[in-house]
């Protein structure tokens, strides 16, 4: 029932390839469908955009177009999971996490059901569709739900591994993907593990913790800062929840911690890192992202620049903060010496 034709699928990896994360999702979902007959896919009339259309064509009896009815889609996915299926529910991030939040909380996560919510078109790089379609709150909305796993892959290669891994993981998962093509950043020997971050390197002075498209921008910022003699590391925190506390403890040795995300700085990666470090190893923290405002219309590159999210802009923002940090450290040192001289 619902089996694909005898034509073999290509198994070419996305390692080193420039591609949209949603494209990797569609391709890997199709491959997994060939291997696992329990995988079913639901979409809200957007399969050509979310890239679930390839699965739909190959397995029509395992694909359900729910129409513009996201709440019904999530509730139906919950029901399918109770029959032993592994449902993937996809639509745009703004609709998945906004319109259907109650159904996700009540019908899926509260009962710890094995539903995979893979939402595309997250963040401002949606582009010209504008603020109404730019989800900059979705990570916060999903992270706050108890027992929800939240993942934001950095490139197509990591997306390929994420989708493969969440099939093996039992429980509700939210994966945020993008619309625009992204350049590859993860090395070919990289292996994704839920709850584990990846350190490109660890800086003595500054560590930038990033997710999604911001990983590449963080790497560009690192180059600029290192050339100025500021030793900077970059960490890909693709699993926002559960956070990799071991990695955060390791990178907190730096004098400044920076978070970078294509999301509101409220409640997303920056919030998660700040919450963790404030209770364990308090450090100066700079959160880079969307600052309590809605998105707007423009190309993805124009909007990245408009919101100060390019590598060059990130480097300059960090330099401004770095001046404050070093000045504060100098004043603290003078104060300690002064107190010591009075003893």
Annotated catalytic residue within 18, 35, 61, 70: 70
CB atoms within 10 A of CB 61: 9
| Measured CA angle at 9 (ends 5, 10), to 5 deg | 160
158 is catalytic: no
CA distance 119 to 116: 10
229, with CB counted inside 10 A (0-12, 13-18, 19+), is: exposed
Residues 263, 288: Cα–Cα separation, whole Å: 9
Six-digit token string for 332: 């603290």
Contact assessment for residue 99 and residue 66, using Cβ atoms and an 8 Å cutoff: no
Q: CA-CA distances (angstroms) from residue 31 to 4, 12, 93, 181, 186?
A: 10, 11, 23, 21, 21
Annotated active-site positions, please? 70
């Amino acid at each position: 029932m619902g089996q694909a034709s005898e034509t073999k699928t290509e198994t070419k990896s996305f390692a080193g390839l420039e591609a949209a994360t949603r494209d990797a999702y569609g391709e890997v979902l199709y491959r997994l469908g060939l291997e696992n007959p329990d995988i079913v896919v639901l979409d809200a009339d957007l399969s050509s955009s979310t890239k679930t259309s390839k699965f739909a064509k190959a397995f029509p009896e395992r694909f359900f177009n729910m129409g513009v009815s996201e709440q019904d889609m999530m509730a139906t996915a919950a029901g399918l999971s109770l029959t032993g299926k592994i449902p993937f529910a996809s639509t745009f991030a703004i609709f998945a996490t906004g319109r259907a939040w109650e159904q996700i909380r009540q019908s899926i996560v509260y009962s710890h059901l094995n539903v995979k919510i893979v939402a595309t078109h997250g963040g401002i790089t949606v582009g010209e569709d504008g603020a109404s379609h730019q989800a900059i709150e979705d990570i916060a909305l999903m992270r706050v739900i108890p027992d929800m796993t939240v993942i934001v892959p950095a490139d197509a290669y990591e997306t390929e591994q994420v989708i493969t891994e969440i099939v093996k993981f039992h429980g509700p998962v939210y994966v945020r993907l993008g619309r625009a093509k992204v350049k590859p950043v993860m090395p070919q020997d990289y292996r994704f593990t839920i709850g584990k971050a990846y350190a490109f390197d660890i800086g003595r002075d500054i560590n930038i913790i990033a997710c999604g498209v911001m990983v590449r921008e963080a790497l560009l910022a690192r180059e600029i800062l290192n050339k100025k003699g500021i030793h900077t590391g970059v960490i890909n925190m693709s699993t926002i929840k559960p956070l990799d506390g071991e990695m955060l403890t390791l990178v907190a040795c730096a004098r400044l911690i920076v978070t970078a995300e294509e999301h509101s700085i409220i409640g997303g990666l920056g919030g998660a890192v700040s919450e963790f470090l404030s209770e364990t190893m308090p450090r100066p923290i700079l959160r880079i992202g969307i600052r309590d405002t809605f998105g707007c219309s423009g190309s993805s590159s124009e909007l990245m620049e408009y919101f100060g999210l390019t590598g060059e802009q990130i480097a300059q923002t960090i330099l401004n903060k770095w001046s404050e940090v070093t000045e504060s450290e100098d004043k603290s040192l003078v104060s300690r010496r002064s107190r010591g001289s009075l003893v």
